[in-house]
Amino acid sequence: MTAKVKSMLQCILVLAVIALASGVLLGAVHVLTYVDPFQATLDFFKEESGAEGDFEMIVEKETSVDGTSGSIVYYARSTDGVHAFLAKGNGGYGGERVPVYVFIKEGTITKVAPGDYTQQTFMDELEKGFYDQFVGKDVATLKPLEADTVSGATMSSTAVRNAIDAVVAYYNGNVSGGESNG
């Protein structure tokens, strides 16, 4: 074996060891820092809703809601009667789908909170009271698409209304008298 071939084999071996070590380290970092999105959502539901009971996940896979421009990403119900939704509405800035958390107890929306959205500037405009117009409303009679939009964030506020509309339609069709009846 010539010195040149031997040197090349040593380089290949060193690179293989570096790649293996990098892979092991990345795997270890992933295991140590992994956050289960399903469990994180359940924890967020409990923290934000003020529910005393534990949540049971009802919808675990994104489900489109007929007749709306939104979908239910997650839906869970607590043992003390709080219904928690993570929904997405179509029509956000740049065509993005806007995530929104909606909490319902005894047929009334108790809280609406923004989800993580890349167009945070527009969501900050919505923070100034936009969500309050839904709180305290009876889900059976609420018409989210008739709610006010926010100047400077019209597309984002429309997408939020679409998400809330999906929650209202899902709740009225599947929870308050529908198949889940709960």
- Picking from 76, 43, 82, 39, the residue whose alpha carbon sits closest to that of residue 57 is 76
Nearest to 167 by CA among 123, 102, 118: 102
The mean per-residue pLDDT over the stretch 16-20 comes to 93
Angle at alpha carbon of residue 175, lines to 80 and 63, rounded to 5°:
110
Distance CA(163)–CA(69), nearest Å, equals 7
The pLDDT confidence band at residue 154, using thresholds 50, 70 and 90, is low
For residue 181, the model assigns a pLDDT of 40
pLDDT at 22 over 80: yes
pLDDT at 147 (0 to 100): 64
- Please tell me the predicted confidence (pLDDT) of residue 182: 42
39 against 155, higher pLDDT? 39
For the chain, the average pLDDT equals 84
**HSE toward the beta carbon, residue 50, CA cutoff 13 A:** 7
Domain boundaries, the chain: 1-34, 37-175
| Longest CA span, the chain | 85
Per DSSP, 177 falls in state: S
Q: pLDDT at residue 129 above 90?
A: no
Answer with the residue of higher pLDDT: 45 or 122.
45
Q: What's the whole-number mean pLDDT along residues 28-51? A: 86
pLDDT value of residue 142: 80
Predicted pLDDT at 110: 94
The tens digit of pLDDT for each residue in 110-119 reads 999 888 765 5
pLDDT digits (tens, 9 = 90+) for 53-101: 889 989 888 889 998 889 999 999 999 999 999 999 998 777 788 899 9
